[in-house]
Amino acid sequence: MLPRIQYLQFPKKIVFGAGAAAKICEEATKLKPRHALLVTDSVIAGTGGFQAIKRSLADSGLSLTVYDRVEAEPRLTMAEEAAEHAREVKPDVVVGVGGGSVLDIAKIMSLAPTNPKRIRDYLGINLVENPPLPKILAPTTSGTGSEVTNVAVVSLVEEQLKTSVVSPYNFADVAVVDPLLTVTMPPRTTAATGLDALSHAVEAYMSVESNPITDSLALKAISLIRKHLPEAYSNPNSLQAREGMSLAAMTAGISFGNAGVCAGHAAAYAFAVKFKVPHGVSCALSLPYVMKLNSPAMEEKAFEIAEALDIGAEGASRRLLWERSIAAIAELMRRLDQPLTLKTLGVPEDLVPRLAEDMLKSQRQLARNPVKVTLDDAEQLFRSMFRGELGVSASDS
Ligand SMILES: [Fe+2]
């Protein structure tokens, strides 16, 4: 029996599979628009996959505006500019094609024309007042799961933090997940975004808001990432690996879109903006240390995650299985050439107290963590992350 009342939310429709991008135009015209706003970034705008989508929309007789100025890890000022642009263009449908940053800005551009305030006023939970324009979201990375979540993340440069617009109005009308759109992703991005998906799955699994449904999706994602991420990294043209990773990112997205992420993302937010560390890299680095911090609360769930990671679970204690799971994730990071310490990233150790304070500002994520995190705990966490003290031989320094 489920432990309490459960809510599960995701997009109205998901179209998944190799070649699914060819369905974007068909799905868009079902929404009966006259004017489509196609959102992307300058790199994706030059790809064959994007050009084909653009051509099909233009050939369908829609008037089409392309906005290709989305920047990586978008700042609030960039989000405000994009919102203003959408209000001027007045589209009837928004189509986002790109990584998580693009899809998050597409969400903001779909809500802006019907919600007149500054985007700053919508930062937080359920503050968007009116239904947005319909939107179709198609990821070109396998990581954020933004195509299936209700979150749009922006960076606050002055505060050196990340925050988000969280609203049911952020769900896509149609999420189109086509692994073929991900084959041009360079190995470094494949690794970072894939590990972001892993952190979504593991943090959703640890979240106090998890339930048997989000757990089963998280475990499926963990198993797929273990199996397919190293291959997608070393052999970018492997369609099987790309398909596995697209499925993993999407299932992890639905899982954390409902169970939430916890202390891993809270820790990552504290140093990612300050040191310009890509989101996936910062989350991946935090993950094994936060798993270690959460060990006392996770023994009950250790067996299943060990199975998903394909660790020999026979006869081992639950405590040992959790430790082996941490070691397996650290090993996966090593295979993907990811940093395992803050020192490697050039973060000075004397900043640890400040990072700990900033981590505690992410109260929404920390409230979902299975272990309460005090300022002392956070300091200790960052000190371990600096020194590579994982207790499972994770140091790379
Ligand atoms: Fe993330």
- 262 C-alpha vs ligand 1 centroid, how far in Å? 10
- 19 C-alpha vs ligand 1 centroid, how far in Å? 26
- 72 C-alpha vs ligand 1 centroid, how far in Å? 14
Query: Sign of torsion, CA 14 17 18 19?
Result: negative
- 265 C-alpha vs ligand 1 centroid, how far in Å? 7
- 387 C-alpha vs ligand 1 centroid, how far in Å? 23
- 34 C-alpha vs ligand 1 centroid, how far in Å? 34
- 172 C-alpha vs ligand 1 centroid, how far in Å? 18
Distances (CA, A) of 161 to 154, 269, 330: 9, 6, 26
Sheet arrangement for strand 63-67: 13-16, 174-177, 135-139, 93-98, 35-39, 63-67
User: What gap in Å lies between CA 247 and CA 178, rounded to an integer?
Assistant: 10
pLDDT of res. 29 = 94
Low-confidence ranges of the chain (pLDDT < 50): 393-397
pLDDT of res. 392 = 60
pLDDT of res. 6 = 80
Kindly report, as residue ranges, where domains of CATH 1.20.1090.10 are found in the chain: 187-387
**CATH number of 13-182: 3.40.50.1700, 3.40.50.1970, 3.90.226.30, 3.30.428.10?**
3.40.50.1970
- 100 C-alpha vs ligand 1 centroid, how far in Å? 9
- 29 C-alpha vs ligand 1 centroid, how far in Å? 31
pLDDT of res. 3 = 60
pLDDT tens digits for 126-173? 999 999 999 999 999 999 999 999 999 999 888 778 889 999 999 999
- 341 C-alpha vs ligand 1 centroid, how far in Å? 19
- 18 C-alpha vs ligand 1 centroid, how far in Å? 24
Q: How many CB atoms lie within 10 A of CB 363?
A: 11
- 320 C-alpha vs ligand 1 centroid, how far in Å? 27
Does residue 55 sit in helix, strand or coil? helix
Beta bridge partners of residue 135, listed in sequence order: 94
- 116 C-alpha vs ligand 1 centroid, how far in Å? 28
- 134 C-alpha vs ligand 1 centroid, how far in Å? 24
- 199 C-alpha vs ligand 1 centroid, how far in Å? 7
Contact of 205 with 253, CB cutoff 8 Å: no
**Nearest alpha-carbon partner for 297 in 210, 222, 389:** 210
Tell me what the pLDDT averaged over the chain comes to: 94
Distances (CA, A) of 338 to 194, 251, 261, 335, 342: 11, 23, 21, 8, 11
Contact of 355 with 270, CB cutoff 8 Å: yes
**Nearest alpha-carbon partner for 97 in 132, 33, 51:** 51
- 279 C-alpha vs ligand 1 centroid, how far in Å? 6
pLDDT of res. 353 = 97
CATH superfamily of the 187-387 domain: Dehydroquinate synthase-like - alpha domain (1.20.1090.10)
pLDDT of res. 274 = 87
Kindly report, as residue ranges, where domains of CATH 3.40.50.1970 are found in the chain: 13-182
- 302 C-alpha vs ligand 1 centroid, how far in Å? 22
Q: In degrees rounded to 5, what are phi and psi of residue 107? A: -60, -45
- 300 C-alpha vs ligand 1 centroid, how far in Å? 25
